[in-house]
Amino acid sequence: MAGQSYASGNRNRSRARDAQSINILAGKAVAKAVRTTLGPKGMDKMLVDGLGDIVITNDGATILKEMDIEHPAAKMVVEVSKTQDAEVGDGTTTAAVLTGELLTKAEELIEKGVHPTIISGGYRHAAEKAVEILKTITIDVSTDDRETLMKLAKTALTGKAAGEYKDFLAEKALDAVLSVVEETNGNISVDVDDITIEKREGGSILDTELVKGLVIDKERVRPNMPRKVENAKILLASFAIEFQKIEKSAEIKITSPDQMNLFVEQEEKMVKEMVDKIVASGANVVFCQKGIDDLAQYYLEKAGVYACRRITKSDLKKLSRATGATLFQDVTDIKTEDLGAADVVEERDLHGSKMTFLLGCKEAKTASLILHGGTTHIVDSLKRALNDALCVIGVALEDKKIVAGGGSPEIELALRLRDYAATLKGREQLAVGKFAEALEIIPQTLAENAGLDPIDKLIDLRAQHEQGNKNMGLDVYTGKVVDMYDNNVLEPLRIKTQAINAATEATVMILRIDDVVAATGRGGAMPPGMPQPDMDM
């Protein structure tokens, strides 16, 4: 029996061939949704949520995250894109498109009678071989090779909303990454979380600036506090600097004005004691996660302390890492030796909004990018583009390996894998061959999105790689097959290896499913996103 779908009791099931077909169809649909965004000539998507908020982007991970996807197999393709974004920061569309094409080719083999287990084994074998081949076509890169790193950043920014400013933005991204690079025993590590990105509407993209320090999107709580503090001693408080309210419900009866005055004086005394402890520790800058009441603000102002309130948890973590400060849970925990340090803490006005700058931080290397743009949508897309560029430079420096772009690695892999498949015995050979075919979806899609004939371009690319020109790829602007290294189109090796491995694992997982069982909702209806079963048995 090829397959069956049926309802039984409060269960709905799709089995065998039906389950595989439905899952493959769902995976292909997700890949198709983002396929037109691939490459410098890719189109953008406008995503509108239930509240009417709009996101305009061609970033695969963002599109798939914002889409309301309910089918469980389709969600697995979304996870591939999320993993790619977390591991590398770029190549998310590539990973999703490759997953969809691997499923398409697997379906062709299933229809010919090849068992999914054989296909899964062949795909895994092909992925291992592909990663092995990739390592033979890499180019070395180092922190001193600024020119190559700039090309990497420009490639990541090409095709994004801020593409026309890619020279300017690539330089900012590169300087930001180089300022947080840490080298230990010859190994380089780059934590992109050390780079803070703040957005500001107003001004031009060219007003975007890099600050060699930490920027917090908060201002002083009172204007008469010092605007600038040198040799800052920084206290991080997760507690509120205010009168401690009684947690349990209680009733206080006041029968005379004197009692009222005593009650108020006691409140003031408690707040004053809190502030005195903070000042006695030597702290002249306070960042508080919670509130600072008016009286505490007054005492801090009198003591010449720079204070900010309602600091987010993520910003507190960055402050702790950068300045070496301990996050205090209670005023009684404060110790002078646990304060953080920075050369300068000051408030600056940026296009009408005020922010706090910390320069010369004591501990970790840190940098901040302040993005400017005409509208909210522009600065949002600018942030996504710059994040891609930062991640790309970071992983390239960590791995010290890059490859040419423009579809050249995929064509080279397809060529070499076909040759390798011919050396294998059994049906696994067919799966490796289909894997090779699937890889060609990347240059094919680049050609389609640029309005070029994909068949002609694939033929030209194969011919060049047959002659040993490993870096030949597709220039989508001229429509010619050129050397992508000479054309300054470069990508980190990890983009390709991660995309291949993640796409293969997701495809194998989907192929191995032969029974989909879902509990029905109330009233016997199938949960949304799941196939409605065929009730004819």
Q: What is the pLDDT of residue 5?
A: 43
pLDDT digits (tens, 9 = 90+) for 196-244: 898 888 788 888 889 888 999 999 999 999 999 999 999 999 988 887 6
Give the pLDDT confidence score for residue 252 in this predicted structure: 65
Catalytic residue, from 36, 83, 92, 445: name it. 92
Residues 116, 28 within the same domain:
yes
Q: Do 232 and 354 sit in the same domain of this protein?
A: yes
Q: What is the pLDDT of residue 15?
A: 56
172 within domain boundaries: yes
The residue from 93, 155, 208, 497 that is catalytic is: 93
pLDDT at position 532: 47
Structurally, the chain folds into a number of domains equal to 3
Cα 78 to Cα 30: distance, rounded to the nearest angstrom: 8
99 is an active site residue: no
The total number of residues shown for the chain amounts to: 537
- What's the CATH code of the domain at 191? 3.30.260.10
**Could you confirm whether 59 is annotated as catalytic?**
yes
Residue 393, Cβ neighbours under 10 Å: how many? 28
- 225 & 359 share domain: yes
Domain span holding position 164: 142-202+374-399
Selecting among 85, 194, 217, 388, the annotated active-site residue is 388
354 and 237, same structural domain? yes
Please indicate, yes or no, if residue 252 is contained in any of the structural domains: no
Residue 207 known to be catalytic: no
Q: Are 159 and 443 in contact (CB under 8 A)?
A: no
For residues 107 and 132, state if they share a domain.
Answer: yes
Is the Cβ–Cβ distance between 368 and 355 less than 8 Å?
no
Does residue 349 sit within a domain? yes
pLDDT tens digits for 375-384? Answer: 888 888 888 8
Query: What are residue 516's phi and psi, to 5 degrees?
Result: -110, 115
Given a cut of 50, the residues of the chain with pLDDT beneath it are: 1-11, 522-527, 529, 531-537
Is the residue at 310 inside a domain?
Answer: yes
Q: Per the domain annotation, does 313 fall within a domain?
A: yes
Query: Do 146 and 134 lie in a common domain?
Result: no
- Using DSSP's 3-state secondary structure scheme, residue 206 falls into helix
Residues 361, 409: one domain? no
Q: How far apart are CA 285 and CA 323, in angstroms?
A: 12
Q: Is residue 389 part of a domain?
A: yes
Amino acid at 183: E
Which of these, 392, 474, 494, lies nearest to 166 by C-alpha position? Answer: 392
Residues 195 and 299 in one domain: no
DSSP type of residue 165: G
* Statement to judge: residues 455 and 487 lie in one domain: yes
Q: b/e for 33-65, b at 16 or more Cβ within 10 A?
A: bbbbbbbbbbebbebeeeeeeebebbbbbbbbb
Pair (231, 359) in one structural domain = yes
User: Which member of 18, 59, 194, 217 is catalytic?
Assistant: 59
Look at residue 49 and tell me if it is in a domain.
yes
Q: For residue 389, which of 210, 152, 203 has the smallest C-alpha distance?
A: 152
Neighbours of 27 (CB within 10 A): 30
Q: Is 140 a catalytic residue?
A: no
pLDDT at 304: 93
